[in-house]
Amino acid sequence: MAGNRELDTATNTETTGHEWDGIKELDTPMPRWWLLTFYATIIWGVIYVILFPAWPLIHAATPGLLGYSSRVEAAKEIADAEAANAPLDQALMATDISGDEANPELLAYATAGGGAVFRNNCSQCHGAGAAGARGFPNLLDDDWLWGGTAADIEQTVTHGIRYEQDDDTRFSQMPAFGDILSSEEINQLVNYVRSLSGLDHDSALTQEGSVLFADNCASCHGEDGKGSYDFGAPNLTDSIWLYGSDPDTLRETITNARFGIMPAFQGRLSADDIRKVAIYVHTLGGGQ
Amino acid sequence: MTDTADTPPPLYAAREPVFPRRVSGWFRTFKWWIMGITLGIYYLLPWIRWDRGPELPDQAVLVDLANRRFYFFFIEIWPQEFYFVAGLLIMAGLGLFLFTAALGRVWCGYTCPQTVWTDLFILVERWVEGDRNARIRLFRQPWNAEKIRKRVLKFTLWILIAVATGGAWVFYFADAPTLLKELLTGQAPAVAYMSIAVLTATTFTFGGMMREQVCIYMCPWPRIQGAMMDEQTLTVGYRDWRGEPRGKHRRRREMAEKTDAAFATTRAAGPVEGTRSPKMPMPGLPSGVGGPIPEKETLGDCIDCNACVNVCPMGIDIRDGQQLACITCALCIDACDDVMAKIGKPRGLIDYLTLGDGEAERMGAPKVSVWKRILRPRIILYTVLWSAIGVGLVAALVMRTDLAFSIEPVRNPINVVLSDGSVRNAYELRLRNMTGYDRTFDISVIADDPLAIELQGRAGAEVVVPANETLRQRIYLTSAPGSTASKTSSLDVDLQVEDENSGARAVESTIFHGKQQ
């Protein structure tokens, strides 16, 4: 590759003697300022290595004289953001939580923050869109087991449901009627319960079913089967079924009962985060 | 080249200073005008006021980054209308093709900020230190009170211009009078001071110190435009078949011998003889106009007075032919025409000519009209494309409405069954009020089957959108239990937004999912 230097007639410049398939390289001197710029970058690099974390060692990089750390910076930014939000958090805790739009700015703050809390802590069971799943209530509809006001939701999130580590948890237990009633009686109850919400049923069995319902179920679910927020007893007359409304599922529910658990978030989330997520859930379309 | 083996060439070369001489003529006058207009626009534009009503800024041209708005006189661009900017950038690109195909590096020579500011800096330099000869003398003389005084004055004026340049830039991004007050009282945001500092430094360095180095070494444009010029492109060239063989006429030679008197005109742009900038050929173009020069008994028209070299801000010799360092500022045309007039020869030894014309003229063909070079298919095609995009943008501007919204169905979940068996769909509405006053809108739904409309957190179907804002609103559409809509998996529905006062309407279509999934 290296060959003889020669003079290029078009430019009056020497070639380097390097040639690639007939293309020759001119030996044009580079501008001095370019060289100085190059030296400046070297000096910059040396100073940077001294001042900032640079060389990777086994456990960490060299710390640098300035002690800069992106983690510390991120932590500071988070602390700054929290400090900036502190007045809003205080205002939120000082306000009566009604879920109404008394203060649009506060509501916007609460729903934005609550959305983040929900996606981190609630979406695992209730879904990112809060539509729930079998056994995990849909939070978008207008049907609530323990009440759907913002205050009710805040109470549920704070203390959980059937969460025995929390003394104030919402607690109720449906008996497993498989030990109490015969299979025939359970079948009559299934048909009666389905008749309450207008589902297909054997009307020959509902008469006996209604008597059994009044004796065994009405104390929690009510005479009319509309349920009660006090016991977390579902409304049996509407279109919404947490576990399903087909006869087999109902038979299973009555025979063995259900015992859905939601953990208490008191202690895991701050009081203002719980309030935010309660307000967020309240604004999803089903709040009362 | 045996001797170079012993003394290797230097690896780097210091910049040779260039001392362009003052010149007057048609092109110089034209460049003064362009400089005045472009600098005037740049410095004064942010100070023009434009009344848009109480809610909106009254600055005619304003880039409001914080609120994501661009104001340009009667036009207000929102982020979703960025295609206007894209269109303008495409027009700028095609404009460069157009002007390069027709007139070569006309952008470089007349309107490039590097050229305009360098011109301004040279003007200041000439005003403080005198014309070319005086500047060369000052450059050579040792440091003394006069040199220090002149240098300090020059640098001070340059820095003032540089600060004004950086300062004018930030006024495009905030209300100019307010920002000026804040800048002077030290209350402006840090980013304003930093922008001014950076732009002051670059203006001073590029306009005062680097000058032609920016064009030769930093700018990609000279490399690109070689591919965009052709044989029919007008560019600044030297009619070597007319000028060569060059030679000083008797009287010039006598003058040249009295070196001091003629020093100014017999030396090249730098303090030493010869051209200062390295001679680099234009990529893709022949370096000269080309072809052998017909044998001549007598000297050509070029008297080798070096006037063209002395006035060149790039420090090159145009007589070497087409080269990368030439920005086609045409000052050498003015300088040469002046000399030709004095020695009684026709003007145009250095002139705007095309490479193709050079070939023809060399063979004795007459000069070709400039218009013939401009009105050719390639130029017309670029002009048509450029105009078509311009017309398209104007049409889009005229036809756009100040009422626009988008409606997006919420997909997670696609629907919700309520306790009475009715089915509800949720939608995200974004309603833009692109006017300077608050507006009240009625939102309604148009569908084959009745659907109830409900706005999250509001009673009724009425919303107020503040001036110049976008409202985000969740909307619920609910079908009655057992209705057709509740049993249809996908029902086309239209959402209508109507201005309560003006009656202006906008309609967007979307889908209602009724059947349980």
Alpha helices, DSSP H, located in B363-428: 370-374, 377-399
H/E segment holding residue A36:
helix A32-51
Which helix (H) or strand (E) segment is B455 a member of?
A: strand B451-455
Cα B346–chain centre separation: 37
Q: What is the pLDDT of residues B123-140, one digit of tens each?
A: 999 999 999 999 999 999
Contact A11 B278 (CB under 8 A): yes
- Determine how many CB atoms are found less than 10 A away from the CB of residue B379: 19
* Domain match, B181 and B43 both: yes
Q: How many CB atoms lie within 10 A of CB B212?
A: 24
Residues B122 and B215 reside in one and the same domain: yes
Structure tokens, A220: 């929690």
Judged by average pLDDT, the poorest of B123-127, B243-247, B481-485 is B243-247
Count the domains in chain B.
3
Residues whose CB is less than 8 angstroms from the CB of residue A13 and which lie 6 or more positions away in sequence, other chains included: A7, A26, A27, A28, B278, B279
Mean pLDDT on B452-469? 89
Any A CB within 8 A of B4 CB: yes
When the pLDDT of each residue in chain A is averaged and rounded to a whole number, the result is 90
**A5 falls within a domain:** no
Residue B176, pLDDT > 50, answer yes
Are A11 and B419 within 8 A, CB to CB?
Answer: no
Residues B357, B457: one domain?
no
C-alpha count within 13 angstroms, C-beta hemisphere, residue B266? 15
Residue among A32, A239, A281 with most chain B CBs within 10 A, to mutate = A239
Q: Rounded CA gap, B62 and B85, in Å?
A: 14
Q: Is residue A22 part of a domain?
A: no
Which of residues A30 and A136 earns the better pLDDT score? Answer: A136
- Tell me: do B240 and B155 sit in the same domain: no
Distance CA B94, CA B96 (A): 5
Question: Which residues on chain A are in Cβ contact (under 8 Å) with B457?
Answer: 101, 107, 283
Report the gap between the CA of B4 and the closest CA in chain A (Å): 9
In order of A57, A82, A249, B194, the CA distances from A69 in angstroms are 16, 20, 57, 24
pLDDT greater than 90 at residue B436: no
A69-79: average pLDDT: 93
Residue B244 confidence class, pLDDT cut points 50, 70, 90: confident
B210 touches chain A (CB under 8 A): yes
Confidence of residue B489 (pLDDT cuts 50, 70, 90): confident
Q: According to the per-residue pLDDT averaged within each range, which of A7-11, B190-194, B235-239 is highest?
A: B190-194
- CB count within 10 Å of CB B350 equals 26
pLDDT beyond 90 at B371 = no
Cα–Cα distance between A202 and A58 in angstroms, integer? 75
Task: Report d(CA A236, CA A225) in Å as an integer.
Answer: 5
Q: Hey, is B147 helix, strand or coil?
A: helix
Give the pLDDT confidence of B253-302 residue by residue, as tens digits.
555 555 444 444 444 444 444 456 666 766 666 555 455 555 556 778 88
Same domain as B371, residue B417 = no
Low-confidence winner among A33-42, B50-59, B155-164 (lowest mean pLDDT):
B50-59
Nearest by CB to A10, from B14, B287, B420: name it: B287
- The closest CB to that of B217, out of A5, A31, A235, belongs to A31
Using a CB-CB cut-off of 8 Å, the residues of chain B touching A235 are 419
CB contact under 8 A, B416 and A131: yes
pLDDT of residue B16: 86
What SS3 state is found at B118?
helix
Reported ipTM: the value is 0.81
On whether both B58 and B199 belong to a single domain, the answer is yes
Please answer yes or no on whether B420 and A285 come within 8 Å at the CB atom: no
Taking CA–CA distances from A286, the nearest residue in chain B reads B418
Same domain, A93 and A225: no
Position B13 in a domain:
no
In the numeric block, which tokens belong to residue B35?
């400089």
Helix (H) or strand (E) holding A73: helix A70-94
If one compares A127 and A10, the residue with the highest pLDDT of the two is A127
Q: Are strands A30-31 and B12-13 parallel, antiparallel or unpaired?
A: parallel
The string of pLDDT tens digits covering residues B31-40 is 999 999 999 9
- Same domain for A160 and A200? no
What is the per-residue pLDDT across A95-150, written as a single tens digit (0 to 9) for each? 877 755 568 888 889 999 999 999 999 999 999 999 999 999 999 999 999 999 99
Q: Phi then psi for A56, rounded to 5 degrees?
A: -75, 125
For the cut 90, the answer to whether the pLDDT of residue B389 exceeds it is yes
Q: Note whether A13 contacts B: Cβ–Cβ < 8 A.
A: yes
What is the CA angle B259-B264-B269, rounded to 5? 120
pLDDT tens track for B288-340: 545 555 555 677 888 888 899 999 999 999 988 888 889 999 999 999 999 99
Mean pLDDT of B220-228: 85
Q: Is A39 on the interface with B (CB under 8 A)?
A: no
Query: What is the structure's pLDDT at A100?
Result: 58
**B145 in the same domain as B79:** yes
Are B361 and B413 within one domain?
Answer: no
In a domain, residue B196? The reply is: yes
Does residue A33 fall inside a structural domain? no
- Name the token pair of B284: 């893709």
Q: A169 at the B interface (CB within 8 A)?
A: no
Domain final residue, candidates B326, B361, B376: B376
* One domain, residues A89 and A195: no
State which amino acid sits at residue B445. Answer: V
- pLDDT at residue number A76: 95
Nearest CA to B352 out of B233, B230, B208, B186 is that of B233
The reply to whether A18 falls in a domain is no
Of all residues in chain B, what percent carry a pLDDT higher than 90?
Answer: 55
Q: Is there a domain that residue A277 lies in? A: yes
Beta bridge partners of B351: B237
**What is chain B's mean pLDDT, rounded?**
86
In chain A, what percentage of residues exceed pLDDT 90?
72
Same domain, A129 and A268: yes
Contacting residues for A14 by C-beta, under 8 A, at least 6 apart: A5, A6, A7, A8, A26, A27, B1, B4, B9
Q: Do B253 and B297 share a domain, yes or no?
A: yes
Residues A139 and A214 in one domain: no
Alpha carbon separation from B135 to A277, B125, B153, B314 (Å, rounded): 75, 9, 14, 16
CB count, 10 Å around CB of A241? Answer: 18
- The reply to whether A105 falls in a domain is yes
Average pLDDT over residues B107-132: 95
Instruction: Out of A31-40, A103-112, B3-12, B89-98, pick the least confident.
Output: B3-12
Domain count, chain A: 2
Q: What HEC string does B34-85 produce?
A: HHHHHHHHHHHHHHCECCCCCCCCCECEEEECCCCEEEECCEEECHHHCHHH
**Residue-wise pLDDT tens digits, A219-262:** 999 999 999 999 999 999 998 999 999 999 999 999 999 999 99
Task: Pick from A28, A33, A246 the residue to mutate for testing the B interface (most B CBs within 10 Å).
Answer: A33
pLDDT band at residue B341 using 50, 70 and 90 as cut-offs: very high
Residue B220, helix vs strand vs coil? coil
Q: Do A32 and B15 touch (CB under 8 A)?
A: yes
Is the confidence at residue A66, as pLDDT, over 70? Answer: yes
pLDDT of res. A84: 94
Q: What CA–CA distance (Å, rounded) separates B445 from B433? A: 20
Q: Are residues A88 and A155 in the same domain?
A: yes
Is residue A276 domain-shared with residue A141, that is, in the same domain?
A: yes
Q: What is the pLDDT, as a whole number, of residue A211? A: 93
Chain B residue numbers touching A142 (CB-CB < 8 A): 418-419
Whether B426 sits inside 8 A of A285 (CB atoms) is yes
One domain for residues B372 and B473: no
3 state DSSP class of B350: strand
Residue B351, domain extent = 234-376
- Asked if A29 lies within 8 A of B9 by C-beta distance, the reply is yes
User: Do A234 and A193 share a structural domain?
Assistant: yes
Same domain, yes or no: A162 and A118: yes
Residue B398 placed within a domain: no
Q: Is any Cβ of chain B less than 8 angstroms from the Cβ of A220?
A: no
> Do residue A141 and residue B417 have CB atoms under 8 angstroms apart?
yes
Alpha carbons B447 and B491: distance in angstroms, whole number: 8
Query: Are residues B308 and B250 part of one domain?
Result: yes
User: Residue B14 falls within a domain, yes or no?
Assistant: no
Identify the pLDDT of residue B1.
41
Q: Which domain holds residue A199?
A: 177-256
Give the integer Cα–Cα distance in Å for A64 and A75: 19
pLDDT of residue A102: 66
Residue A215 located in a structural domain: yes
B208 falls within a domain: yes
Q: Compute the half-sphere exposure of residue A79: CA atoms within 13 Å on the CB side of its CA.
A: 6
Average of pLDDT values for A264-283?
93
pLDDT of residue A187: 93
Mean pLDDT score, B156-162:
96
CATH of the domain at B459: 2.60.40.10
pLDDT at B269: 44
Domain-located, residue A239: yes
Q: Is B1's CB within 8 Å of A14's CB? A: yes
Same domain? For A225 and A252 the reply is: yes
Do A183 and A231 fall into the same domain?
yes
Interface contacts A/B by beta carbons within 8 Å: 92
pLDDT value at B392 more than 80: yes
**CATH number, domain containing residue A209:** 1.10.760.10
Of A14, A28, A128, the CB nearest to B4: A14
Cβ-nearest to B15 among A12, A31, A285: A31
- Whether B216 and B346 share a structural domain: no
Asked if residue A273 and residue A148 are part of one domain, the reply reads: yes
Instruction: Give mean pLDDT, residues A163-167.
Output: 93
Residue B15 reports pLDDT greater than 70: yes
